[in-house]
Amino acid sequence: MTLEDTPTRRQLIGSALGAAVTLAGASQLFGSADRVAALSSAVMRPGAATKPAVRLAITDKLTFPVDANPIYGTLVCLNNFGGRSTANGPCSHNGVDIGNDKVSGRGRPLLACVDGVVHKDEAFSTGGLTRILRDGIGTYYRYHHLDSYESSLKEGDPVTAGQVIGTMGNTGNTVWSHLHFEIWQDSLTPSRATIIDPVPRLWFPHGVTLRAPTACAT
């Protein structure tokens, strides 16, 4: 007969629920002072577990798309998705801008934010030199204003999160060297895509400042 089969245990559970169990009865059943103490504690404090709960660390945060090593200078991420401009009010901005706080960040390594592939390399008059990554579920990560592509990579090549994919620059419509970073879900066609705020998705390394923008940055 197993412990679970004994009428005594069923009775004990029923008693415990009614907070009427006796330590003598529990001691006879379990034969362990520790178990009795734990049970007693649980009975005295309804809802308390005999072991601390463990929260599993499940995260889908993206690798920060710029190398945060301070040897390249202090990094700032403008919290300007959707045009959160304290100076100009609403303005159109589909991503966030990440750049150096003081000295120019031109040439700073840009990193793959996710495991995926190089989907497309393209140059725009506004976005400048652009590299787009795609992950396994059809989300696109757009890197704009690059100074240069990592030349060992070409369209279709796999990338691993944290891998250097290019360098920060100021190509296109911008006045400072920075990364304009966007996340497009499902499609690169504006009418079909859902463009989301990267900030909640990013894992911010120590030392990177998230700052409210003062203008409608590009």
Regarding 134 and contact with Zn ion (CB under 5 A), the answer is no
Chosen residue from 29, 67, 76, 97 binding Zn ion by CB under 5 A: 97
Chosen residue from 110, 180, 182, 202 binding Zn ion by CB under 5 A: 180
Between residues 143 and 149, which has the closer beta carbon with respect to Zn ion? Answer: 143
Stretch that binds Zn ion, among 16-24, 31-39, 54-62, 89-97 (CB under 5 A): 89-97
Distances (CA, A) of 18 to 24, 46, 47, 98: 16, 10, 13, 59
Regarding 182 and contact with Zn ion (CB under 5 A), the answer is no
Regarding 131 and contact with Zn ion (CB under 5 A), the answer is no
Stretch that binds Zn ion, among 45-53, 96-104, 105-113, 165-173 (CB under 5 A): 96-104
CA-based end-to-end distance of the chain = 74
Check if the beta carbon of residue 166 is closer than 8 Å to that of residue 131: yes
Regarding 147 and contact with Zn ion (CB under 5 A), the answer is no
Q: What does the block give as tokens for 207?
A: 């030392």
User: What does DSSP say about strands 139-144 and 178-185: parallel, antiparallel, or unpaired?
Assistant: antiparallel
Stretch that binds Zn ion, among 36-44, 90-98, 182-190, 195-203 (CB under 5 A): 90-98
| Dist. CA 159–CA 52, nearest whole Å | 39
User: What does DSSP say about strands 139-144 and 96-100: parallel, antiparallel, or unpaired?
Assistant: unpaired
Return residues touching Zn ion (CB under 5 A): 97, 180
